[in-house]
Chain A
Amino acid sequence: MFKEFRTAIGMLLCVSLLTGVLYPLLITGLTQVLFPEQAKGSLIRDAQGQVRGSHLLGQSFTGAAWFHSRPSAVDFATLPSGASNLAPSNPELAVQVRQRISALAPDSEQPVPMALVTTSGSGVDPHLPVGAVLYQVHRVAQARQLSSEALMQLIEVHTERPFIGPAVVNVLALNQALQMIGVTRE
C-alpha cells in the first residue's frame, strides 16, 4: 500500500516536472526566439510605442468613418470574452438582428450581410467576410471623402484568402491602414 502510494506521488511529480514545467518553459523559450511577435500576442504599437491592440483581437468601431467589426455579445470585453449563446429559436435573437439591421440600413433594399447582424463566437472576432466589408465601403468613403475605388483597393490588399476557409478581412488592420491615409493627408 505504502509502495503504491509512493509510486503514485512519484509519477505525479515526474509528469508535473516534465509536462507542467519543462514543456511549457521549453516552448516559451523556443518561441520567444523564433516567433517573438506572435508569442507575445501579436501586439500593435503606434509610433510612440503605445500598445494599440493585438492584430488578432477585434476592437469596437463606431461611427460612419470606420469599418465596423463583427458585432460582439459582450461589447468586446476580454476578461472574460464571450458569446450570446442565443438559440436560433430564441425570439431575442430575431429582435437583436432586427435592431442591428435598422441601425445599419434603415431603408436599404439591399440585404444586409449575415456577419454584420449576428454576434461572433469569441466576442472579439477580428475578421469580417469580404462581402461584409464591401457592404460598408459606400458609408466609409462618404464619411472620409475618399473614392470607393481607393477603399476597394485597400480592402483587396488586406483580404486573406486561405484555400481552406472563407476569404476574410482583418478589420483592425484595415482601419489602421485607413487611419494612416488620414494622417498622410493631414
Chain B
Amino acid sequence: MELEDYGLLLGFLACVLLPAPFLGRYMFRVMERQPLWLSSHLAPVERLGYRVLGVEAETEQSWRAYAKALLGFTLLNILVLFGVLVSQGHLPLNPQQVSGLEWTLALNTAVSFVTNTNWQAYSGEANLSYFSQMLGLTVQNFISPAIGIAVLAVLCRGLARKTTQALGNFWVDLWRVILYILLPACLLLAPVLVWLGVPQTLDSYATALTLQGQEQHIPLGPVASQVAIKQLGTNGGGFFGVNSAHPFENPSAWSNLLELAAILLIPAALVFTFGDYVRDRRQSWALLACMLVLFIASLGLTLYAEHRPNPALVGLPVEQTGSLEGKESRFGVTGSALWAVATTTASSGSVNAMHDSFSALGGLGLLVNMMLGEVIFGGVGAGLYGMLLCVMIAVFLAGLMIGRTPEYLGKKLEAVEIRWLVASLLVMPVGVLVFTALAVSLEGPASAISNPGPHGFSQILYAYTSATANNGSAFAGLSANTPFHNLLLALAMLLGRLGYILPVLAIAGSLGAKRCAPPDSNSRFPTHSPLFVVLLTLSILVVSGLTFLPALVLGPLAEHLISVG
C-alpha cells in the first residue's frame, strides 16, 4: 500500500460519509412531501405528472394496495423492456444495425434491469442499440432504485406512524424520488463524467487507423448519462460489456473515485433518512456503525488478499506484487479491490476489474458481502430495508434472551412480523444454495464453467448469489448466456427482489396498524447502544453467514488451500 492508496481510501470515505446526514435529511423531506428549494421550481412538472397518471397526491394507500400497484408496475416494466429488446432491430436509434435479442437473453436482461440487478449476459457495445440503452435500460435504471427507496419509505412510515393503514402512495413516492433525488443527482454527475472523458454522443461508432496501421472500431454512444445513473442507483449495468473497467466508462483515477463514491452515496444517506423518520438519529448512527464494521472488515480481507503475490507465479522472474490480471493500470490493486468491495456490499454490480481473476480469498470476501443479503449499505433502499429486517431479527433474539415480547422503536414484534421475517430469511438460501446445486448437478449448465478446479464451482455459486442478491456482478468467465442460465438466473433475480419487498411491505402494514408503546417503558432494549451494534453484527454473521459456509468451503476456501499448498 502506497501513500496514494491511503489517499483513495480516505477520499472515498469522506465523499460517502460527509454528505450522508444532509442528503439523508433532504431525502426525508422529499418522501414526506415537505417544501424543498427544488420543488418551488419543479412543482409544475410534478403536478403535470399526477394529472397524466390520474393520481390524487394526497390519497395514501394501505400496504396491500401499495404492493398491488408495485407488482403490476413491475410486471408492466418487464414486458415493455422485453418487447423493446427483442424488437430493437426494427426500432429507431440503431446506427450499428444490431438485431433483436434472443428471447431468453431478452427476458433475462429485462428481469435483470427491472429488479435492480443489472446482470449482463450480453455485451452492450455489440448487442444493443442506442434506443435500447436509452429508452430501455436507462429508464429502468431510474425506476428500480426509485422503487427501492419507495419501499424503504413505507417501512419507515410503518415504524413511525401509529394505528393507521395509510402508508404512502406508490405513484407519488416513485415520481418524487425520480424528480427530486435521482434526476438532479444525475444531472450533476453526468457532465462531470464527460469532462473527465466519458463520451456522450448519438453519433455512430468511429473507425480509426492505429499508429501501427490497423483498423480500430471506436464504440461511442450516450455513455455518461447512463453511467451516472447506473452508479447512483446501484444498478451496475454498464454501457459496455466490461463495465467500468472500460476506459470510456471510467477514464481516470479521479472518475474512479467519483463513481466509487456514487455507488454508496445514496445507500449511506438513507440510513439518516430512516433516523429522521423515527425521530432518533442515534438509530442511524448505530446502523451505520454496524455497516462500517462489516465494510471495513471485508475491505481489509480483500485488500490483504489482492496485494499478496499469486502463489502460482512465485519463482517466475516477475515482480512479486499483487496480481494485475483483469485489473486496469490506472486503478491499480487498491482502486480495484476497493471498488469490488463497494460494489458487492452495495448490490451495485458494476465492476472496474474482473472479479473472476481475483485471488481466492478476495473472491471469498466478495461472495460473503452478497450472501449477507446486501445489507452492508446495500442497494438503494433495498439495502436498508434488508438491514432493518436484520435489526428485527436481532431484536427478536434479544427479546428471547431477556424473556420479553420483542419490541422495536416502541412497536411490538409479534407472530405476523416473525412469520414474514422468516419468509424473507429463506430467500437467499433458496436462490443461492438450491439453484446453484441444480446448476452444477446438470451436465449442460455446468459446462458453462471456464476455470478448472474449485474455482469453477465458485463461478456458478457467484452467479446465483449475485442474481439472488440483486447484485449483478459476475465471475465473468462463466458462459451464462444459455437458455438454462438465462431463465434460472431470471427466476433467482425475481425471487431476490420480490422475496424481500413483499415481506417488508407486509411487516410495514402490520407495524403501522399498531399502537406505539410509551417511550419511557424501561423494559425496552436500547437499539442504539454499542451492545446492540455488536449483537446486530453477530446475528447478521451467524444467521446469514453460517448458512453458506459449506458452499464457501467447496469453492473459494478449497481454492485458497490448494493454491498455498
Contacts and interface: CB of A to CB of B under 8 A. Distances in A.
Contact of A118 (B198, B226, B323, B360): B323
B198 A86 contact: no
Among all A-B residue pairs, the 8 with the closest Cβ atoms:
A165-B253, A85-B477, A121-B245, A80-B123, A166-B332, A162-B253, A87-B455, A85-B356
B313 A94 contact: yes
B135 A16 contact: yes
B410 interface: no
A89 B455 contact: yes
A111 B318 contact: yes
Interface of A: 3-16, 18-21, 23-24, 26-28, 30-32, 34-35, 38-44, 50-63, 66, 70, 76, 78-91, 93-94, 97-98, 101, 105, 108-115, 117-129, 131-132, 160, 162-168, 172, 175-176, 179
B415 interface: no
Interface in B33-89: 49, 52-55, 68-69, 72-73, 76-77, 80
Given A121-B352, A166-B330, A43 B206 contact: yes
A10 B52 contact: yes
B290 interface: no
Interface string B195-220: 11111111101111111101011111
Contact of B216 (A53, A120, A132, A166): A53
A122 B454 CA distance: 25
B448 interface: no
B195 A53 contact: no
Question: Which of the listed residues B77, B229, B248, B358 has the most CB atoms from chain A within 10 Å of its own CB?
Answer: B248
B328 A20 contact: no
Given A24-B226, A84-B354, 17 more contacts: A12-B139, A15-B178, A24-B200, A35-B195, A38-B199, A50-B209, A54-B248, A86-B325, A87-B356, A93-B313, A93-B325, A97-B318, A109-B317, A111-B320, A114-B319, A132-B329, A166-B335
A76 B477 contact: no
Nearest to B124: A80
Contacts of B54: 3, 6-7, 10
Given A86-B325, A121-B352, A60 B212 contact: yes
B256 interface: yes
22 contacts: A4-B72, A10-B54, A23-B186, A27-B194, A39-B201, A53-B211, A53-B218, A54-B208, A80-B124, A82-B241, A83-B357, A86-B325, A88-B359, A89-B312, A108-B317, A112-B318, A114-B323, A121-B245, A122-B245, A127-B329, A165-B256, A179-B211
Contacts of A4: 68-69, 72
A49 to B, nearest CB: 12
A160 B212 CA distance: 24
Contact of B7 (A8, A18, A128, A163): A163
